[in-house]
Amino acid sequence: MKSVWFERLEEGLIAFLLAAMTLVTFAQVVARYLFNYSFVWALELTTFLFGGLIFLGISYGVRVGAHIGVDALVKILPKKIAHKLGLVATLLCLVYAAIVFVGGWIYVSKMYDIGILAQDMPIPQWVPRLVMPIGFALLFCRFAQILYNMWQGKDVHLLGDEVEDALKYSSDEGLPTQEQK
């Protein structure tokens, strides 16, 4: 069920969006302060790129376990109950992703029917907004993957573990340990 090429494509697209957003913003600053000129479309393009970064980054965050949450209760529960609670939480996440996907699809289709252009760029409004249902479809797929793996009995985490990360990074070389302080 794991597809390496798809994960690389996802990472590459996110990196491209971040780089493009940075370059457009940098070009706008240089044009404004050095040449007293402004690109009319730069802010709108940056906003669209940022939206794409957010909606595609949601599913990427689920994949790498970067989303944080309060899991103190789950950690003190017996393993069997915690596993069942994880299944329920994942099902609720699937329902949420499906609801927002459908709502996003309705929104984009209405924007398509209206047919208006973006404010500063000659593209239809629905084109940059299409990233919303795409992002939530990807999110749905990620949660479906997690649910499948949990159902198979694999150890899967919905959330990042801040304590585990902090302990891992505190043992890195170059960082002072408690004894060295």
pLDDT tens figures, 122-146 = 899 999 999 999 999 999 998 998 8
Would you give the end-to-end CA distance of the chain in angstroms? Answer: 47
Residue 177, domain member (yes or no): no
Residue 158 lies in a domain: yes
pTM: 0.76
Domain count, the chain: 1
CB neighbours of 82 closer than 8 A, spacing ≥ 6?
74, 75
Look at the chain and count its residues: 181
Predicted confidence (pLDDT) per residue in 17-42, tens digit:
999 999 999 999 999 988 988 888 99
Structural domain including 70 reads 4-168
21 in any annotated domain: yes
CB 156 within 8 A of CB 82: no
Q: Is 140 a domain residue?
A: yes
Say what the pLDDT of residue 178 is: 54
| 179 domain-assigned | no
Q: Looking at residue 102, what is its pLDDT?
A: 96
Q: Does the pLDDT at position 162 exceed 80?
A: no
- pLDDT grade for 1, boundaries at 50, 70 and 90: very low
Note whether residue 174 is domain-resident: no
**Residue 160 pLDDT > 70, yes or no?**
no
Q: What is the mean pLDDT of the chain?
A: 83
Angle at 18 between CA 14 and CA 21, to 5 degrees: 135
Which tens digits make up the pLDDT trace of 61-110?
888 777 766 666 777 778 888 788 888 888 999 999 999 999 999 999 99
User: For residue 51, is it within any domain?
Assistant: yes
Higher pLDDT residue, 79 or 49? 49
